[in-house]
Structure 1
Amino acid sequence: MIVYEYPFNERIRTLLRLEDLYEKFIFFLHQSDPLQHHVALATIFEMLEVAGRADLKSDLLQELERQKHTLIGFKSNPNVQAEMLDKVLEDVDRASTSLIACTGKTGQNIRDNEWLMSIRGRTIIPGGACEFDLPSYHAWQKNSAEKRFTDISAWFAPIAPLFDAINVVLRLLRESGTTTKVIAQAGSYQQMLQGKVYQLLRVSVARELGAIPEISANKYMLWIRYMSQDGDMKPKAFENDIPFDLTLCNF
């Protein structure tokens, strides 16, 4: 199954973008080639652009606190697995404590590093990080993979708690939904939401169907139209019935 996600608001859209960047960063950080570590470092710069909102940290702290109170309320429920609930509460507490300990603006340690900012300024220019533009960066890339890994990890460490909190919040959001099996008649599906507020829509469709959902949604209605792609990658409307899993998530 391929899972497609659609955020209902800008707040969740920002968290999903940061999650995507974090996954890319972790992948390239654990590679060994200098070019792969260049991508990891450039991804940190992208993270700072997306996470530049001053209220992102406070938003996450408020959400974690709200989720903590909600989860504590489940302790008296005999149908809830106490061990699993305690593990989730532990994750929430850890993420919240680490985020509170972060002081200053997100990524301020990188902004205060003139050398890193010189690299950031060149990476936004196509081909701007060539060796003749940044000889000191070229020399750093000739270090061992272990040295580059250690340096990048140290630069990222002050913003790591932000991504730990994002991971916990998005996990709780995804787990809040109930999945239903539905069918898109002739490749199209509509559902009235009757003003109920959701934050995230998840669509899971079998890979072998080759069906790609185009999603549009608001608090009143969601509309999914399935498309396929030919050899030239041009979209074409799907005309067959498409079975898929639909999950609407809200805290």
Structure 2
Amino acid sequence: MISFEFPIAERIRLLLRLEDLFQRLAHFMERGTPTDHHAALLSLFEISEIGARSDVKGELLQELDRQKHALDALRDNPAIAEDALDAVLADIEAAMSGLFDSTSRVGQHLRENEWLSTIRQRSGIPGGVCEFDLPSYHFWLHRPDAMRRADVDRWYAPLKPARAAADVLLQLLRDNGKTYPLVARGGNFQQMSGGRIVHMIRIVIDELYGVVPELSANKYAINVRFVQPGTGNERPRPVGKDIEFTLTYCKL
């Protein structure tokens, strides 16, 4: 099975992008070759760029505080397990505390590092980080793996509160989803929203179908169209057969 997640709200789009970048960063940090650590730095730069364009810290704190108050209101509800509720609230409190302790915008320390800023600017040029362009970076890439890893860990450390906050919110979002088994007749499916509040839609299909979903949604209706992805010079083609899939409505 393969899962596709479509953010409906802009805040969820931000969370999913952060999650993708942090997962990529962790992958390349664990490996440890010069090429891997170069890729890790590129992920750090992308996270920093997101932090420069929007108030990521403020967005995360606002949403965490909203979730905290919503969950606090569930206390004494007989349908809610107190232990599970306390664990989630503890995760939220820890994430908020980490963000409060950070004194600057997300990625600000990377943008203020002159050496890293030079690498970031050159990395936007095709082949711009060759050894003759950045000899000091070439020297750094040839340092022992453990030394490079320590540097990357140090640059990553101030970003950990943002990652923890994003992870908590996305876990809440995914756990608070309602899933329905459906069939797209002739590759198309439409459903009226009926006033339902949705922040993200997850579609899961069998990989054997060899199709991908295209989704459009607003407050009135949700439309899903399955297409065969194009390869090479081919364009995506509509699917004329029925497709079984599951659709999950997620909200915070």
Q: Structure 2 length as normaliser, TM-score?
A: 0.94
Q: Which runs of 5+ in 1 are unaligned?
A: none
Provide the C-alpha distance between the structure 2 equivalents of 1:229 and 1:105, rounded to a whole number of angstroms. Answer: 39
Provide the C-alpha distance between the structure 2 equivalents of 1:230 and 1:250, rounded to a whole number of angstroms. Answer: 32
CA positional deviation for 1:214:
0.7
1:121 aligned partner, one-letter code = Q
CA positional deviation for 1:196:
3.4
Provide the C-alpha distance between the structure 2 equivalents of 1:223 and 1:54, rounded to a whole number of angstroms. Answer: 30
The answer to whether structure 1 residue 229 and structure 2 residue 229 are counterparts is yes
What are the within-5 Å matches in structure 2 for residues 40-59 of structure 1? Answer: 40-59=40-59
What are the within-5 Å matches in structure 2 for residues 1-251 of structure 1? Answer: 1-229=1-229, 232=232, 234-251=235-252
Task: Give CA deviations for 1:77-124 in whole Å, capped at 9, x if unaligned.
Answer: 223222222211111111011011111222221122111111111101
Q: Is the contact between residue 178 and residue 247 of structure 1 (CA under 8 Å) also seen in structure 2? A: yes
What secondary structure is seen at the aligned counterpart in 1 of 2:48?
A: helix
Provide the C-alpha distance between the structure 1 equivalents of 2:231 and 2:95, rounded to a whole number of angstroms. Answer: 45
Superposition RMSD in Å: 1.5
Provide the C-alpha distance between the structure 2 equivalents of 1:230 and 1:105, rounded to a whole number of angstroms. Answer: 40
Task: Give CA deviations for 1:9-49 in whole Å, capped at 9, x if unaligned.
Answer: 22221221111111111101111210111000011111111
What secondary structure is seen at the aligned counterpart in 1 of 2:155?
A: helix
Q: Structure 1 length as normaliser, TM-score?
A: 0.95
Q: Is the contact between residue 119 and residue 137 of structure 1 (CA under 8 Å) also seen in structure 2? A: yes
What secondary structure is seen at the aligned counterpart in 1 of 2:104?
A: coil
Q: Is the contact between residue 212 and residue 227 of structure 2 (CA under 8 Å) also seen in structure 1? A: yes
Q: Which runs of 5+ in 2 are unaligned?
A: none
Q: Is the contact between residue 179 and residue 248 of structure 2 (CA under 8 Å) also seen in structure 1? A: yes
Aligned pair count reads: 251
CA positional deviation for 1:134:
0.5
Q: Is the contact between residue 178 and residue 250 of structure 2 (CA under 8 Å) also seen in structure 1? A: yes
CA positional deviation for 1:195:
4.0
Alpha-carbon spacing, 1:109–1:66, altered in 2? closer, same or farther (3 Å) = same
Provide the C-alpha distance between the structure 1 equivalents of 2:183 and 2:63, rounded to a whole number of angstroms. Answer: 34
Provide the C-alpha distance between the structure 1 equivalents of 2:187 and 2:15, rounded to a whole number of angstroms. Answer: 30
Indicate the percent of aligned positions where both proteins have the same amino acid: 43
2:116 aligned partner, one-letter code = L
